[in-house]
Chain A
Amino acid sequence: MEENMQTEDGISLLDIFRLLLSKIKILLLVVLLGAILGAALGVWKTHNVDYYGTSVEFYVNPEKKSVSSDNTQQGGSQYGVYGAYGRHVMDNMVRLLGSEIFAEQLMLGGNVLPAKQEGNTSLNAKIDVAEPLLEIVEQKQAKAKEYSASYEEKLSTYNSADNRLNDVWKTLYLAEKVKQPSFSEAEYMTYVGKAGYTNLETAYSDKQTAQKKLESAWENFAVAQAAANEAQENASTAVEEALTEWRNMDSYKGLLNRIVGSTKYAYVQGNTDAEDANNLARSFIYVKISVLNDKEFSEDLLERIKKIVPIYIEANMAVPDGYQGTNCQPTTTINQIVLTNPGYTRSQTIKYALLLAAVTGVVACVVVILLDRSDKRLRDYDVITKKFNIPVLGVVPAIDDLVPETPKKKTEKDTEVKV
Chain B
Amino acid sequence: MRLFHGMSDKHSEKRARRASKRAKLHSKRMEYLLDKKTPFAITEAFRNLKAALSVSVPKRDGGVAIMATSAYPQDGKTTVTVNLALMFAISNAKVVIVDGDIRKGRVAKYFKEKNTPGLSDYLSGQNSLDEVIRQTETDKNLSYIPCGTHSPKPYELLESEAMKSLIEELRTRYDYVIIDTPPVLLLSDALAIAPVIDGTVLVCRHQVSYISDVARALNTLSFAKANVLGVVVNDFKLPPTKSRGNYDSYYYYSYAYGSTDSPAEDKND
Contacts and interface: CB of A to CB of B under 8 A. Distances in A.
A400 B26 contact: yes
Contact of B80 (A377, A381, A392, A396): A396
Interface residues of B, number: 66
Interface centre among A21, A390, A399, A404 (most CB of B within 10 A): A399
Given A394-B232, A419-B267, A405 B37 contact: yes
B206 A381 contact: yes
Q: For the complex, would chain A's binding face be called helix, strand, loop or mixed by DSSP majority?
A: mixed
Interface centre among A22, A398, A405 (most CB of B within 10 A): A398
Given A384-B214, A391-B231, A419-B90, A22 B239 contact: yes
Contacts of B205: 378
Chain A interface size range: 35 or more
A413 B36 contact: yes
Given A393-B56, A399-B29, A403-B248, A388 B233 contact: no
Given A378-B207, A379-B207, A419-B264, A392 B230 contact: yes
A4 B41 contact: no
Contacts of A398: 206, 235-238
B9 interface: no
Interface stretch (B47-55, B151-159, B173-181): B47-55
Contact of A393 (B229, B242, B243): B229
B43 A378 contact: no
Contacts, number: 167
Interface string B204-230: 111111111011001000000000111
A398 B48 CA distance: 16
Interface in A381-419: 381, 383-384, 387-388, 390-405, 413-419
Interface of A: 3-4, 18, 21-22, 376-379, 381, 383-384, 387-388, 390-405, 413-419
8 contacts: A18-B241, A379-B207, A381-B206, A388-B215, A396-B45, A399-B32, A399-B39, A414-B37
Given A22-B239, A401-B237, 20 more contacts: A21-B240, A377-B209, A377-B210, A381-B206, A388-B231, A390-B218, A393-B53, A395-B45, A395-B206, A396-B46, A397-B39, A397-B42, A397-B45, A401-B238, A401-B244, A402-B41, A404-B37, A417-B33, A417-B139, A418-B265
